[in-house]
Structure 1
Amino acid sequence: MTARAPGVPPAPEAPPSDARTGAGVRALLARLNTPAVRTRIGTLAGAVILAVLLWRLGTGALVDGLRRIDGPSLLVALGIGLVTTVFSAWRWALVARGLRIRLPLAPAVADYYRALFLNAALPGGVLGDVHRAVRHGQSTGDLGRGVRSVVLERTAGQLALFAAGAVMLLTLPSPVRDDLRQTAPLAGLAVLGACAVVLALRMNRPGPSRRGRALRSALAEAREGLLSRRNGPGVLVSSAVVLAGYLAMFVLAARVAGVGAAVTELLPLAVLALLAMSLPLNVGGWGPREGVAAWAFGAAGLGAGRGLTVAVVYGVLSLVASLPGVVVLVARWYAGLRAGRRTAAVTATTPPASAPAPVPVSRVRDASGRAPLAPDYASPPPEVSIEKYAPKESTRLARSSLPFSAEPSEGRPMTPESV
């Protein structure tokens, strides 16, 4: 054993191997639990699902679905998309009003169309909603409330889908009706038990914690935005109309694909496909929807290939219904470009501020009324120290260049990846 010199502190002991392994695992999980990594994993999962479907069922169902789409079906899809988008934007405006932020209906419709197109064109299926939330928060000067209004609006749509879907799957003939009827009582008891446990823990807690206060604040905003007397009826009606539009689009896709089943038989299959679309494992909405539709149609005796064809037609019709978002994107880009050119032109034509003319000393008198002996012009004022103000100016410029500053800037480009 080596003797340690006096006055020298002991060397720190190395952490055990288990602690190092645990720290490495936590660091890896932290790196994986980021929005960019989750988006890439979801995109990869959606691509794998599509590849497996095409491998098992072939490309005939895909080609057949694309071949059956015609002009009248595209026009009907555009009409259904217009109705669902307007009512979705109205729901968003109601929720925003409940959170005490202003959102007129016309800009809400335009922003919603843009978000729908970005959801369909970009991986992940939610980047358009992220873009919509951030831009609305920036334009109102409150990024937090802008994001929460979009989250609550999307939550209202999902709750309507879950409630109506549960009723349809339990009452109408579907491949999962018998299983749901057996598991529904157990699921209800499990939910009641979980609520009782949470209530007991909250009652036994000594004092309100920070997390508890945040939860109560979120619940209060949800209640004011979705369940208040002023917003509740409108949110309910708009959610019902939007869900009816999605189901009508699926029935239209089934008819275009040549499926002659009754509407009551198609509605549960449409609910299953819509529930699969809410999973974040897709490529612009493609992936789980096609897989679940192929399985559900096969279990219902309609053919897995026919289910894949219906899902493909539905995806194409939904993409066509979101194409007005391209017009909104181009119009906003052109407006920002014109605003930038106008600002540059005004800056170029504005003459620089001229320095004040020096005052002749002959016009400057002292207290006795006599002009002092001095050169023809007064000496210039002392120079201002640059070092004194340079840090403040650089700090101001750095703050004004932040991507999420409170000042709205319609001309500044922003992509959903910067969220």
Structure 2
Amino acid sequence: MTDPRHARKRALLRVFSLILLLGIAASLIDLSEVWVRLRAIPIWIFAVMVAIQAGIVLILSWRFANLARSVGADLRLSEATRLTFLTTLGNLLLPTGLAGDAGRVLLVRKYGLSLSTAMAVGVFDRIIGLAALGAIVLVGAIAAASILPIYVALAAFVVPTTITVAILIWWQRSAKNKAALGPAFLSVAGLSAALSIFAHLASILIAYLFFLEQGAPVGFFGVLVLFPAVLLAATLPISVGGWGTREFAAAAAFATIGVEAPTAIAMAVIFGLSQAVAAAIGSAATTLFSQTDAAR
């Protein structure tokens, strides 16, 4: 088990990193310009972004539930959705490594999985998402070759895809999982890849809607190529919920095609805010539904 003292140190380090990133941003960028761009977003567009974020969580819940059930978990889609909303909210707001994917893996154990199997599902869930993200980058790079060299995009696709295949082979050779990992599981893996692509495209759509509203010089394929770097930066465990790292990545990535830093940072902030609002609403709704269902 994790030493509580080490967990506290990591949490404090993440908080310190967030404060440091905010300080650096304040010293390099006029944050009032970011605020101006955020205020310019109509409330109805923000509501659309929140709805899309909720849809992304539903897609990821479906992916996780299918993977978990394929290896024997007695997990309903409604419960997987509740877990995903709660851990998404925790990951965005809490400086702890037990939120997000790690927290969901620990919580899903109560549905009949061993720790090793739950961890394998969690790793596969994440890696197949990265492979799908790499595929999107590759398509975007082919369509907009001037933004990103094809060999970089190809590496972004090949590396996680190779790891995904390696995990499948390792799992197939494990005597414990041979019964679970057959054609049925491989079909689930295919479905998971398709769901991952839809989820990433929905995330990219949010960023594109923001740039479109702002009149920024960004085409859809440009967002397709560059926004995955923002998504990856948000997963780095060096801040709280990706705040700060997501914004710096957005400024650096979109500067390559002439987008001003305040506009790119405002896009990343609005993405995080819409995700947090969707996660909060979804957590409250699914928890209420779960309690009502249990009382029947």
Q: Which residue of 2 aligns with 1:168?
A: 140
Q: Which residue of 1 aligns with 2:48?
A: 76
Which 10-residue stretch deviates more, 255-264 or 299-308? 255-264
Deviation at 1:154, TM superposition (A): 2.2
Deviation at 1:229, TM superposition (A): 3.7
Q: How does 1:37-52 map to 2 (within 5 A)?
A: 37-52=9-24
User: What is the distance in 1 between the residues matched to 2:182 and 2:37?
Assistant: 41
User: Which of 35, 38, 43 pairs up with 1:63?
Assistant: 35
Q: How does 1:110-259 map to 2 (within 5 A)?
A: 110-123=82-95, 127-140=99-112, 142-169=114-141, 171-173=143-145, 175=147, 177-178=148-149, 181=151, 216-217=173-174, 224=181, 228-259=185-216
TM-score by length of 2: 0.78
Whether contact under 8 Å (1:174, 1:268) holds in the other structure is no
Identity of aligned residues (%): 24
User: What stretches of structure 2 of length at least 5 have no aligned partner?
Assistant: 164-169
Q: Which residue of 2 aligns with 1:397?
A: none
Letter in 2 for 1:237: A
User: What is the distance in 2 between the residues matched to 1:68 and 1:295?
Assistant: 22
SS in structure 2 of the partner of residue 224 of structure 1 = coil
User: What is the distance in 1 between the residues matched to 2:205 and 2:118?
Assistant: 31
Q: How does 1:346-365 map to 2 (within 5 A)?
A: none
User: What is the distance in 1 between the residues matched to 2:37 and 2:230?
Assistant: 17
Whether contact under 8 Å (2:95, 2:240) holds in the other structure is yes
Q: Which residue of 1 aligns with 2:272?
A: 315
Whether contact under 8 Å (1:89, 1:109) holds in the other structure is yes
SS in structure 1 of the partner of residue 174 of structure 2 = helix
Deviation at 1:99, TM superposition (A): 1.3
Whether contact under 8 Å (1:297, 1:306) holds in the other structure is no
- Taking only aligned residues, the RMSD between alpha carbons, in angstroms, comes to 3.9
Q: How does 1:18-33 map to 2 (within 5 A)?
A: none
SS in structure 2 of the partner of residue 100 of structure 1 = coil
Letter in 1 for 2:202: G
Gap change, CA 1:218 and 1:45, over 3 Å in 2: farther
Larger Rg: 1
User: What is the distance in 1 between the residues matched to 2:24 and 2:175?
Assistant: 41
Q: Which residue of 2 aligns with 1:295?
A: 252
User: What is the distance in 1 between the residues matched to 2:62 and 2:95?
Assistant: 26
Deviation at 1:160, TM superposition (A): 1.2
Q: Which residue of 2 aligns with 1:264?
A: 221
Gap change, CA 1:270 and 1:44, over 3 Å in 2: same
User: What is the distance in 1 between the residues matched to 2:241 and 2:281?
Assistant: 17
Structure with the higher fraction of residues in helix conformation: 2
Whether contact under 8 Å (1:174, 1:300) holds in the other structure is no
Gap change, CA 1:227 and 1:126, over 3 Å in 2: farther
Deviation at 1:294, TM superposition (A): 1.0
TM-score by length of 1: 0.58
User: What is the distance in 2 between the residues matched to 1:168 and 1:38?
Assistant: 36
Which 10-residue stretch deviates more, 38-47 or 99-108? 38-47
Deviation at 1:91, TM superposition (A): 0.9
Aligned residues: 284
Deviation at 1:317, TM superposition (A): 1.8
SS in structure 1 of the partner of residue 59 of structure 2 = helix
